[in-house]
């Protein structure tokens, strides 16, 4: 999962507001925001005989990451999938893609993006709130997501929304531009 949550600011006239809705139009459904973030820390994962430890470590100098383009997505929406969009007028400035897995009552956050100039205004938090509401409507017992260990700003934002670490994968990004990073899994119990 790529994610860019709530950093920076957009210049809007007073009285202009961001609106939120389920993706309706083809442009809502096909909008792509190039994920990027800056971080002055990384969550370091160290293996031990008893398992793993995860701890934040400062980076000097800080890093700026722009996610590579994804593989083309299918035009077919999954039966349990949904996208909420954040709109500035007609411009999609953020979205959250999610899918409900009924077998274990899990809502998976597949992607959450907020365009750079709109970060830091609570748009990511509001999108996640819509996702949590939809999860509850579906009867989900928990919400789950994956985030790279270098994306400390997103991890801190997720922790502030009640998510906790629940696992990791040291090989998920092998063979990609993110090969030196670790996939961290976070969840939030809803029951």
pLDDT for 132-145, tens place per residue? 999 999 999 999 99
Tokens coding 152: 């400390």
Contact 185, 169 (CB under 8 A): yes
pLDDT-derived band of residue 32, with 50, 70 and 90 as boundaries? confident
Place of tokens 């928990």: 142
pLDDT-derived band of residue 116, with 50, 70 and 90 as boundaries? confident
Residue 58 bridge partners (DSSP): 41
Give the global pTM: 0.80
Q: In sequence order, what are the residues at sequence separation of 6 or more whose Cβ sits closer than 8 angstroms to the Cβ of residue 164?
A: 186, 187, 188
Cis status of the peptide bond prior to 61, with omega within 30 of 0 = yes
Is the model more confident about 68 or about 93? Answer: 93
Q: In sequence order, what are the residues at sequence separation of 6 or more whose Cβ sits closer than 8 angstroms to the Cβ of residue 171?
A: none
Domain boundaries, the chain: 19-189
46: three-class secondary structure by DSSP: strand
Q: Are strands 106-114 and 142-148 parallel, antiparallel or unpaired?
A: parallel
Mean model confidence pLDDT for the chain: 86
Round to whole Å and give the CA distance between 50 and 52: 7
CATH entry, 19-189, from 2.40.50.140, 3.30.420.40, 3.40.630.30, 3.40.50.300: 3.40.630.30
pLDDT per residue as tens digits for the range 143-159: 999 999 999 999 999 99
């Amino acid at each position: 999962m790529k994610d860019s949550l709530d950093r920076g600011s957009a210049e809007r006239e007073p009285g202009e507001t961001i609106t939120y809705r389920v993706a309706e139009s083809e442009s809502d459904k096909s909008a792509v925001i190039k994920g990027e973030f800056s971080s002055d820390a990384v969550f370091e994962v160290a293996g031990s005989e008893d398992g793993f430890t995860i701890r934040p470590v400062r980076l000097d100098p800080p890093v700026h990451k722009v996610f590579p383009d994804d593989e083309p997505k299918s035009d077919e929406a999954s039966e349990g999938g949904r996208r909420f969009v954040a709109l500035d007028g007609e411009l999609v400035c953020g979205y959250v893609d999610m899918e409900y897995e009924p077998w274990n009552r899990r809502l998976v956050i597949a992607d959450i993006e907020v365009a750079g100039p709109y970060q830091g205004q609570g748009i990511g938090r509001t999108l996640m709130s819509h996702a949590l509401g939809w999860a509850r409507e579906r009867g989900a017992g928990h919400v789950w997501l994956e985030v790279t260990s270098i994306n400390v700003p997103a991890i801190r934002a997720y922790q502030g929304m009640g998510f906790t670490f629940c696992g990791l994968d040291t090989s998920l990004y092998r063979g990609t531009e993110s090969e030196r990073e670790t996939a961290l899994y976070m969840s939030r119990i809803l029951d």
